Amino acid sequence: MSQQWNDFLLRASLGETGMIPRNSYWESPDIIPAGSHPVQHATQTYANPQSYAQDVSQNIDYDYHNFIYVRAKNLKDGTNQGTVHLYWSINTLLNYPYVWETNEIGTPVSLSAKDQGELCCNPGPIVWETVPPLPDSEHYCLIAWVQTDQHPDMPNADSVQTLAEYIATNGNWSQRNVSLIQPTLAHFKERTYWPGSTKSAEIVFELSWKNARPNDQIEMFAQKPLTDGTTIDSGRRVIDKADGKILLKRYVESEYKSEIDVYYWAAAGQTLPPGLEIKIDVHFLNDSNDQALSALGTDLVTSGLANLPALVPGGGFRPLAQLVSADRTTILCGTQIMRVGQPAGRPPLR
């Protein structure tokens, strides 16, 4: 006998309304791989009626970070809170939770809803670190569940005959099959870390390079969105001259912390240009000596600024966390020098 689910619903198929049991189980539109970049304003993007009526997921990028979102509909009468867990499994092991329950992706994220019928989505992504390739005969499956007071437990592995049967009768679980694609691999990948600060401020993130090759491409982005849902993301830019810079101005809350990744793609058939140097500088706009930066737009590709002071002269690799002054309030410009010269292919991210 069918009955209406009364908790967060993760749909097993696009047209589902929450009647249990359900039939389909491997094509959930509420597990949303969003590609290799975080999505700006993810809640507004995915938790609206128009998006909810579509499957907006993308393929999984092999050998890159993948940013994944999970949305749900609150079918509980009143407010509801839960924690989203996401796992991966090879399709041949999907029916063995005791195998894939150790394959949790990233860090669990919170969901909350004020009213029955409200759509919600995790504002910050769940990040699947560099994804390994699979044999042609297999594919990955993503399994999501929302842990709530009403449904606090994983399934008992001894009692699960098939995952399909479990998902059919538990609306806070869903699964989808995903396909791997291989994008153009970056020739250089590096990561640093924004450690937070004791004050909120407008900050300019400066990505600069020397001895680059025109028509190569470069990009910088933070893995986590800012408090207001915007992202720190330069987009993938074509380099037009050997020495240049990209400037991004953002208002950054003091508690914000995130990894920041930099990618560099050499043109087809090329390797990294000799002598290439990539650098990240950060400028606090409410420091008096940085008044010249305050007139910058929100997203600039070039600027005429020169001789900006740097906390680290010369080269060498140092995380941003080591460049912040002791009280984390007064640095004028922190610099991250990227080591360039990793072999082409798949250098590791830190």
pLDDT in tens, 279-338: 887 777 654 434 444 433 333 323 333 333 332 223 332 333 333 333 332 222 333 434
DSSP 8-state class, residue 23: S
Pick the CATH number of 188-338 from 2.40.128, 3.30.420, 1.10.10, 2.60.120: 2.60.120
pLDDT for the residue 55? 96
Nearest of 203, 221, 338, 227 to residue 282 by alpha carbon = 203
- Going from N- to C-terminal start, the domains of the chain cover 3-181, 188-338
Domain 3-181 grouped into CATH 1.20.144: no
**Cα torsion 104, 221, 323, 278: sign:** positive
| Six-digit token string for 186 | 């970056």
pLDDT of residue 69: 97
Q: Which residues of the chain are modeled with pLDDT < 70?
A: 156-161, 183, 285-350
The one-letter code for the residue type at 171 is G
| pLDDT of res. 32 | 98
Task: Let me know the angle formed at the C-alpha of 88 by 129 and 28, rounded to the nearest 5 degrees.
Answer: 115
End-to-end CA distance of the chain: 52
Which pLDDT belongs to residue 161?
64
Q: What is this structure's pTM?
A: 0.73
Q: Contact at 8 Å (CB) between 177 and 139?
A: yes
pLDDT for 226: 92
The candidate with the shortest Cα–Cα distance to 260, out of 282, 291, 228, is 282
